[in-house]
Structure 1
Amino acid sequence: MNREAVASDPIAETRRWLQRAVIGLNLCPFAKAVVVRDQVRFALSEAGTPDMLLQALATELALLRDADADVVDTTLLIHPRVLGDFLEYNDFLDAADALVETMELDGVLQVASFHPRYRFAGSDEDDPGNFSNRSPHPMLHLLREDSVARAVAAYPDPGVIVERNLRTLRRLGHAGWRALLAEEPGAARD
């Protein structure tokens, strides 16, 4: 565990990323509606091992399954103390998907992946296109399948989202990405 992880506020940093990058750059055209309606649950896990994170994931999956979608439509499970290595995180996603199946939630809920070092298969590590899935902390995004299906069906051409995001992020570049997520000038720092 590093000092920066202890001193930071993972939920505040995730909210800033969600507002400035995901919504601000329109990386996910479906995100704004659930944020405006306050239907996003921000869950911070203190898990220090993959097994502990799997337990936290099971708890959050059950909570989302049982919650009224008008109250909680999606969950961001932020876990800054475990799976900081992207390859270990990527391997963990198989266990997350297996848990969804074990809980008989396949087709009901899904887990999307976000990580500070996210790298799409076949891309260079420094490709700004990877920013579309780079979050301030390792995170598992729990989504309702029916909400995803409705959002995609209502969007004029969902196939253009990925290509548009690549153009936007490559135009923004590394310096623009860092500036986008930086604290406000004059903001208090610990």
Structure 2
Amino acid sequence: MTDTTIQTDADQPSFPEDMVIADTVRWLERAVIGLNLCPFAKGVHVKGQIHYVVSQATDAEGVANDLHRELEALAETNPEKRDTTLLMLPEALQDFLDFNDFLEIADAMVEELDLGGILQVASFHPRFQFEGTDVDDVTNCTNRSPYPTLHLIREESIDKAVEAFPEAEMIFERNMEVLEDIGLEGWLDLDVGARCPVTGHAEPQKAGN
């Protein structure tokens, strides 16, 4: 007898993987690379060395399991094939404070896996807010992405990037200036799906738009 599973609409993920990846790539191309917020991003993007993973986790435990798997996978993969990983969390850690608290777990996991000095975890979030800023401060958009995202980075790649860009410590200040220059209207014109600092809302982009 053949086991047949009928998939209903209820079984479908709220955020299809292709849509989440398309939204993230659009943000990467238009904001991160387009505004040159990270001078190191274009190279790995053009070479196809960014690995995109859409987590279906709905809580911190599920995210931790996915992060554990992806950290090990990145460490074991040839850097020429996969230099970095973006782990998107469309269904989990939507509250920025919860997400921020989870970063302590992420850092501890890197150490537990003996990957300290090899990999590190950076982060982006639709509701990202620098300490001491107002929620509608446009400079927060430097770290705002369409979905909560954990960025798994090789320490070796960071070292190489810094060698190629000796004034790397100036990137943060430059990014603040770029966002202040374009203002909220300029940011919204990018249409990258990252949460608007004024309304607090973000509509996911549809794949293919």
- The two structures have a TM-score, normalised by structure 2, of 0.83
Letter in 2 for 1:108: I
Letter in 1 for 2:168: P
1:112 aligned onto 2:125: no
The aligned residue for residue 22 of structure 1 is 32
2:84–2:154 CA contact under 8 A, matched in 1:
yes
1:21–1:181 CA contact under 8 A, matched in 2:
no
Which of the numbers 27, 36, 41 marks the counterpart of 2:46?
Answer: 36
Deviation at 1:156, TM superposition (A): 3.2
Distance 1:189 1:152 in 2: 35
2:146–2:192 CA contact under 8 A, matched in 1:
no
SS in 1 for 2:160: helix
1:60 aligned onto 2:60: no
Deviation at 1:175, TM superposition (A): 1.8
2:126–2:148 CA contact under 8 A, matched in 1:
yes
1:118–1:130 CA contact under 8 A, matched in 2:
yes
Gap change, CA 1:8 and 1:171, over 3 Å in 2: farther
SS in 1 for 2:190: helix
Letter in 2 for 1:153: E
The aligned residue for residue 22 of structure 2 is 12
Letter in 1 for 2:40: F
Deviation at 1:31, TM superposition (A): 0.4
Aligned residues: 185
The aligned residue for residue 188 of structure 2 is 178
Q: Please identify runs of 4+ aligned residues in structure 1 that moved more than 6 A.
A: 187-190
- The two structures have a TM-score, normalised by structure 1, of 0.91
Distance 1:156 1:90 in 2: 29
Letter in 2 for 1:79: L
Alignment of 1:24-103 (within 5 A): 24-103=34-113
Deviation at 1:189, TM superposition (A): 8.4
2:32–2:38 CA contact under 8 A, matched in 1:
yes
2:119–2:152 CA contact under 8 A, matched in 1:
yes
The aligned residue for residue 3 of structure 2 is none
1:142 aligned onto 2:152: yes
Computing the radius of gyration from Cα coordinates, the structure with the larger value is 2
Gap change, CA 1:104 and 1:189, over 3 Å in 2: closer
More helix by share: 1
Gap change, CA 1:103 and 1:188, over 3 Å in 2: closer
Letter in 1 for 2:31: A
RMSD: 2.1
Distance 1:116 1:124 in 2: 15
Residue ranges of structure 2 left out of the alignment (5+ in a row): 1-12, 194-205
Distance 2:99 2:150 in 1: 10
SS in 2 for 1:106: coil
Identity of aligned residues (%): 48
1:128–1:170 CA contact under 8 A, matched in 2:
yes
